[in-house]
Amino acid sequence: MSRMAATRDGYGDALLALADNDKVVVLEADLGKSTKSLHFRKAFPDRTISCGIGEQNMLLVAAGMASNGYIPFASTFAIFTERAFEQMRNGVARPNLAVHLCGSHGGTHTGTDGSSAQSIEDLAIYRTLPNVVVMHPCDDVSTKQLTMQLPNLGGPSYMRTARNKTPVLYDGKEDQIRIGKGVVLREGTDVAIIACGVLVHESLDAAEKLAEQGISVAVVDMHTIKPLDTELVDRLSKQCGAIVTAEDHSIIGGLGGAVSEHVVSSYPVPVEKIGVHDRFGESAGADEMLEMMGLKSHHISDAVKRVIARKA
C-alpha cells in the first residue's frame, strides 16, 4: 500500500521550503488552515498578509506586490478564487504579473461540503486567460515540486489542489516533475489515458485491470493543463490511435477540452472524456462522489473500450 497524502499538504510544504527567498510572500483569505499556507504564516508572520474574507482584494494586493518585485503566493478554496476571476484577468494576467494563485478543495472529491465547495470549472476558466499557467497535480510530491518551480516562472499561475488524501506516486521520483511536461507513468499501445489530479491513480488502476484483459494502455499524468505538453499528446496519438482523458472537473473546457482542441487540429484520433457531465455535485464522501459522477477506474475502463471501438 502506497503512502497516502493530500496535494494541499505538498503546497504547504513547498511554501516553507521557498521561504529562504525573502521575496516570497504569502497571502491568505481566512483559509490558511485549509490551503496549508498556515505553516508559512506561523514561521514567517511578517511575510504573510491576511486579507480577511476578501478574495478580490487579495488577488490585487498580490498583483501590487508582484509589481514591486515580490513573489506572491495567494490561496483560498478553488471555488472562491472564481469570484476574483476578473481581478485575475485584468489585474494579474493582462499585465503578466507573477502572482501564483492556488485553489484548494477542487473537484467533487472535496466531498461532504457539498456542491457549493466543489469547483468543477476552475481549470476551464483559468485556461482561457493569456499568460496564465494552469496546473493540477496528483500527489503531494509533485505539488511540492511544481510549487517550488513557480518563482522561476516569471508569469502568473493557477494551481488546483485537493482536500482529501490520495496515493503518492512520486516518492523518490521528484526529478520527473517539470512544469509543462507530462509524465508517462505507464507505456501502452492501444489507448492513452491522459489524466490529472485525483483521477491519475484511478487511471493507473484501470490500466492494470485492462492489461489483464490484454488491452495495452498508456497512462500520463498531465499535471500542467496549460501550456499543454502537445509534443507528448502527438506522440501518444500516433502511438495508440485513441485517447481517454480523465479529470475531476467538468468535461467542458478542462483537460479533456484542452486535449481535444489540440488533437483535432494536429493528429486527429478518437477521444473519450471522463469528467463531470455538465451538472453540480452534492454532499457525499469523496469516493462516493467519484462513483456518482462516473469518475472511478471502472468508468475509465469502459471509456477505454468505447474509444477502441471507435478506432478506424
The catalytic residue positions are 55
Site string for another protein, 215-244 (x = CB under 8 A): ------------x-----------------
* Residue 111: φ, ψ to 5°: 85, -125
Nearer to another protein, 69 or 214 (CB): 69
Give the residue carrying C-alpha cell 482561457.
128
* Residue 87: φ, ψ to 5°: -60, -40
> What is the smallest separation between the CB atom of 311 and another protein, expressed in angstroms?
32
Residue 100 CB partners (closer than 8 Å, separation 6+): 71, 72, 73, 74, 147, 150, 153, 156, 157, 159
The Cα–Cα gap between 111 and 286 comes to 4
- Residues 153-212 binding another protein (CB under 8 A) are 153-155, 178-180
Chosen residue from 51, 193, 222, 290 binding another protein by CB under 8 A: 51
The Cα–Cα gap between 257 and 246 comes to 11
Q: What's the chain's length in residues?
A: 312
Nearer to another protein, 154 or 214 (CB): 154
45 is an interface residue for another protein by CB under 8 A: no
Q: Which of 275, 293, 273, 277 is nearest to 285 (CA)?
A: 293
Nearer to another protein, 68 or 213 (CB): 68
> What is the smallest separation between the CB atom of 89 and another protein, expressed in angstroms?
9
The Cα–Cα gap between 142 and 100 comes to 16
Nearer to another protein, 131 or 283 (CB): 131
Chosen residue from 42, 45, 116, 130 binding another protein by CB under 8 A: 130
Q: List contacts with another protein (CB under 8 A).
A: 25, 46-47, 49-52, 54, 56-57, 59-70, 72, 86-87, 90-91, 94-96, 130-131, 133, 149, 152-155, 178-180, 227
